[in-house]
């Protein structure tokens, strides 16, 4: 295993063991659920948007190490961003994990730990589970779970 993939694996394991922002935001302004139909795992993302900034973001739910680590890293990356910036990061992340081109220059470097999942179609849904919930929350869509399909 290359040192880069060892580093990536250790980052994923760290975020799985100690997920950041793993809590509910009681006074959230937006919230949405993501659902992975392949495994039945689901999680919820909460957003607190103030003055066009994501003042707080969190998640809770069940999932594998990749989904939990991805959700955890997502919260650290979008906090402090505008909803429009967060939506652009979603698009860039989604392109990277689905293999539709490399990560855009504006994709925060720490998200590169998920670049390898494009080789494993089932894992793409794990890595993008929280991100679909984030997008749904950003769009203030309904309260139904959003699938990774
Ligand atoms: Fe369920 Fe990864 S196996 S989210």
Residue at 103 is within a domain: yes
Look up the domain containing 36 and give its range: 3-143
pLDDT for 39 equals 96
What is the reported pTM? 0.91
Residue at 148 is within a domain: no
Query: What is the mean pLDDT of the segment spanning 83-109?
Result: 87
* Total tally of structural domains belonging to the chain: 1
- What average pLDDT does the chain have? 90
pLDDT for 146 equals 59
Nearest to 76 by CA among 28, 5, 15: 15
Ligand 1 centroid to residue 135 C-alpha, Å:
19
Residue at 67 is within a domain: yes
Residues with Cβ within 8 Å of residue 147, at least 6 apart in sequence:
34, 35, 36, 37, 132
Ligand 1 centroid to residue 52 C-alpha, Å:
32
CB–CB of 68/124 below 8 Å?
A: no
Query: What is the mean pLDDT of the segment spanning 28-40?
Result: 94
Mutate to test the pocket of ligand 1, among 126, 127, 149 (most ligand atoms within 8 A of CB): 126
Residue at 20 is within a domain: yes
Residue at 149 is within a domain: no
Residue at 91 is within a domain: yes
For ligand 1, atom 3: residue with the closest CA? 64
Task: Give the CATH number of the domain where residue 87 resides.
Answer: 3.90.1010.10
Strand partners, 53: 50
Q: For 120-135, what is each residue's pLDDT tens digit?
A: 988 999 999 999 999 9
Residue at 69 is within a domain: yes
Ligand 1 pocket (Cβ < 6 Å) reads 36, 39, 41, 63-64, 66-67, 126, 129
Three-state SS annotation for 35-68: ECCCCCCEEEEEEEEECCEEEEEEEEECCCHHHH
């Amino acid at each position: 295993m290359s040192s880069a993939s060892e580093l990536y694996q250790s980052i994923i394991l760290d975020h799985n063991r100690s997920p950041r922002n793993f809590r509910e935001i009681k006074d959230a302004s937006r919230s949405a659920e993501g659902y992975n139909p392949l495994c039945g795992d689901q999680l919820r993302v909460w957003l607190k948007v103030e003055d066009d900034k994501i003042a707080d973001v969190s998640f809770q739910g069940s999932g594998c190490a990749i989904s939990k680590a991805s959700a955890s890293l997502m919260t650290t990356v979008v906090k402090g961003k505008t909803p429009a910036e967060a939506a652009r990061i979603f698009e860039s992340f989604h392109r990277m994990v689905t293999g539709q081109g490399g990560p855009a220059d504006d994709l925060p470097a720490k998200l590169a730990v998920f670049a390898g999942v494009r080789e494993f179609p089932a894992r793409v849904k794990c890595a993008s589970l929280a991100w679909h919930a984030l997008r749904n929350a950003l769009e203030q869509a309904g309260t139904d779970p959003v699938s990774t399909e």
